[in-house]
Amino acid sequence: MKNLHIIEHPLIKSKITQIRRKETATKMFKELVSEISSLMCYEITRDLEVEEIEIETPVQKTIGYHIKGDDLVLVPILRAGLGMIEGIQNLIPNAKTGHIGVYRDHDTLQPVEYLCKLPLLMENRNVIVLDPMLATGGSAVKAIDILKEHNVKSIRLACLVGCPEGVEFLHKHHPDVAIYLAAMDEKLNENGYIVPGLGDAGDRLFGTQ
Ligand code: PRP
Ligand code: URA
């Protein structure tokens, strides 16, 4: 499917398996989410712009490359997206961070926006939206609607676990947004949870279940 990247790698596969396990406790869950996000970052940023810079090695002058990271904004969808920040920021320290708070109403499964705090001058920014779960896709579509109101330059969506329903909904509303997943699961169950999934990502990250 166009604009869908499922990042296949043995390290990602085994770490995703560990976060799926119901006995994986909060500390380990948090560390694994961060590590998987770092590993995914390699693929998500493959076409990031670099600029040439002249540097000097101990031997001679040469041309090197510098990531134009300061036009990059990471936007976690609160709460669970927060768990993906550190792993990516470790690799791109000059990326800025904005926050969008959206929660899914438990009864209707509809997204409810409660916070939007973005860096200034979003017009020229390339954005990576972060959320571990792409279930119905409602939360991601809502967050991307908000970002488009700020006329950002480009948007990518990085999630750990997705499902066909969420991917389809996202593509229908935002066909221009590339989706990166570490795993594509089977389906949604009758409660709107991804199957087999990993449960409620926010609750598992913050120990609130
Ligand atoms: C979870 C998850 C996504 C959303 C996915 O958040 O982190 O944001 O559900 O579901 P959707 O694709 O059907 O919208 P939740 O609403 O549980 O909020 P939380 O992160 O604060 O726990
Ligand atoms: N949100 C989650 O955290 N998990 C799911 O399976 C679906 C939505």
CATH code of residue 143: 3.40.50.2020
Helices in 80-189 by DSSP H: which ranges?
A: 85-89, 138-149, 164-173
Predicted local confidence at residue 69, as pLDDT:
66
Containing domain of residue 48, as a range? Answer: 4-206
Please state the pTM of the whole predicted model. Answer: 0.96
132 annotated as a binding-site residue: yes
Confirm or reject: Cβ of 193 under 6 Å from ligand 2: yes
For ligand 1, residues with CB inside 6 Å are 77-80, 103-104, 109, 111, 131-140, 166, 192, 200-202
Give pLDDT < 50 ranges for the chain: none
Predicted local confidence at residue 118, as pLDDT:
97
CA distances from 14 to 10, 46, 54, 161 (A): 6, 22, 40, 13
Predicted local confidence at residue 2, as pLDDT:
77
1 annotated as a binding-site residue: no
196 annotated as a binding-site residue: no
Catalytic residue among 45, 104, 156, 185: 104
Residue 63 pairs with which residues in a beta bridge? Answer: 54
Q: Best substitution site from 78, 103, 142 to test ligand 1's pocket, by max atoms within 8 Å of Cβ?
A: 103
Predicted local confidence at residue 124, as pLDDT:
86
Q: 10 Å Cβ neighbour count for 109?
A: 14
Q: Are 3 and 177 in contact (CB under 8 A)?
A: yes
User: Number of folded domains in the chain?
Assistant: 1
Predicted local confidence at residue 24, as pLDDT:
98
Q: Are 23 and 189 in contact (CB under 8 A)?
A: no
Confirm or reject: Cβ of 201 under 6 Å from ligand 2: yes
Cα three-residue angle 3-85-116, rounded to 5 degrees: 85
Q: Are 102 and 80 in contact (CB under 8 A)?
A: no
Q: Is 108 a catalytic residue?
A: yes
Q: Is 200 a catalytic residue?
A: yes
